[in-house]
Amino acid sequence: MPRVPSAAAAHIGAHIARHRAGLGHTQDRLAADTGIDSSNIRAYESGRAMPSVHTLLRIADALGVLPCDLLEGLELSMFPVAEADGRRRAV
């Protein structure tokens, strides 16, 4: 699991936490329902790690929401950008 603290990870994590809490489930329950280690669930919810697409789908399914519900309000500006990574950028 990539540890990528960013505004985007925090935003997604907040949605996960809100939906989980709305169901009255603990992080351990979500972990059991998804087969994802509870330490990873905590890392996602706190914004310390960015879930993969596969993981996001598993979490959304366990929460009974669409994946887009966990991405609502996400903006490109929330992702970190390395200025000197040598890749071309569209202008």
What's residue 61's pLDDT? Answer: 98
C-beta neighbour count of 59 within 10 angstroms? 27
Query: Residue ranges of the domains in the chain?
Result: 7-73
What's residue 69's pLDDT? Answer: 98
Tell me yes or no: is domain 7-73 CATH 1.10.1740.10: no
Q: Distance of CA 1 to CAs 36, 45, 83, 90, Å?
A: 11, 14, 24, 29
pLDDT in tens, 62-91: 999 999 999 999 999 998 876 666 565 555
Strand blocks (E) in the chain:
none
Radius of gyration of the chain (CA): 14
Contact in structure between 8 and 50 (CB atoms under 8 Å) = yes
pLDDT in tens, 40-62: 999 999 999 999 999 999 999 99
Contact in structure between 78 and 8 (CB atoms under 8 Å) = yes
| pTM for the whole structure | 0.85
What's residue 5's pLDDT? Answer: 76
What's residue 68's pLDDT? Answer: 97
